[in-house]
């Protein structure tokens, strides 16, 4: 498969994160219920997955449901629980056939329906040996919650204060084997990270686009990667 024009195959980001924002506004502009925006976002998810596969991205993390999203209207939350379960049932075989390993990041607390957790576990089991790309679904996820949970594990493991360092915390995050994102894209024109991968994005390149998530497609991803490749990543150093 040919690389899209203007993209250097040697500098494709290993890990891309997406804050999928704008579903509600997309629906409101069309006089539709907010849930219709979420439904329309499914096409964006899987075209973006295809685009990431085309580029050779090794890890793609999608922010599907945050720890703060429980504050939304109850009807919308119920819809999102069923919608996410439905996506797994409808799409996991397709992802499996494409060599995608589906993983999850977030808390599995009492608020997540048991039926959805079963679907998550079934998907994990089905795709666990796939190696083409990791698709990480951040569900019931919050960056602060992840850091709190890592610190709790430090305490439970009896780590002394003198031995607490970045590595000690890093190894206790939800998916410590996945490298930090090189690139994070947020849709809908908002310029904030919204509690997404707070530890991991310390040196990520951030790109904000006005495109609402249901309208996002692989070409938008390609544009973000082109912008990413035009930047100089210094990681706090001074390039000479």
In the block, tokens 């919608």 appear at: 83
* 8 A C-beta contact, residue 78 and residue 108: no
Number of separate helices (H) and strands (E) present in the chain: 7, 6
Query: Please, what's the b/e burial string for 132-162 (b: 16 or more CB within 10 A of its CB; e: otherwise)?
Result: ebbbbbbbbbbbebbeebbeeebeeeebeee
69 is catalytic: yes
Q: Of residues 8, 23, 47, 69, which has the active-site annotation?
A: 69
* 8 A C-beta contact, residue 181 and residue 16: yes
In the block, tokens 């019931």 appear at: 140
Q: Of residues 21, 84, 140, 182, which has the active-site annotation?
A: 21
Residue by residue, DSSP assigns 143-209 as: HHHHHHHHHHHHHHTT--GGG--HHHHHTTSSSTTSPPPSEEEE-TT----TTSSTTTTTT-EEEE-
109 class by beta-carbon count within 10 Å (0-12 exposed, 13-18 middle, 19+ buried) = exposed
Residues with catalytic function: 21, 69
């Amino acid at each position: 498969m040919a690389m899209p024009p203007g993209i250097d195959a040697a500098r494709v980001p290993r890990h891309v994160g997406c804050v999928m924002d704008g579903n509600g506004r997309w629906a409101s502009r069309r006089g539709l219920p907010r849930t219709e925006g979420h439904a329309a976002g499914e096409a964006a998810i899987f075209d973006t997955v295809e685009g990431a596969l085309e580029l050779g991205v090794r890890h793609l993390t999608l922010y599907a449901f945050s720890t703060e999203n429980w504050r939304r209207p109850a009807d919308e939350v119920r819809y999102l629980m069923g919608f996410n379960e439905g996506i797994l049932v409808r799409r996991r075989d397709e992802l499996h056939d494409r060599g995608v390993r589906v993983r999850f990041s977030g808390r599995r607390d009492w608020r997540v329906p048991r039926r959805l957790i079963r679907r998550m576990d079934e998907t994990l089991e089905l795709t666990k040996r796939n190696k083409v790309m990791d698709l990480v679904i951040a569900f019931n996820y919050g960056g602060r919650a992840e850091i709190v949970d890592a610190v709790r594990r430090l305490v439970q493991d009896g780590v002394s204060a003198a031995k607490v360092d970045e590595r000690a915390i890093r190894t206790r995050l939800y998916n410590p084997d996945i490298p930090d994102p090189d690139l994070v894209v947020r849709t809908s024109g908002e310029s904030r990270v919204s509690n997404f991968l707070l530890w991991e994005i310390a040196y990520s390149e951030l790109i904000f686009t006005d495109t609402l998530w249901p309208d996002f497609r692989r070409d938008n991803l390609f544009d973000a990667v082109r912008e990413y490749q035009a930047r100089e990543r210094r990681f706090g150093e001074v390039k000479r």
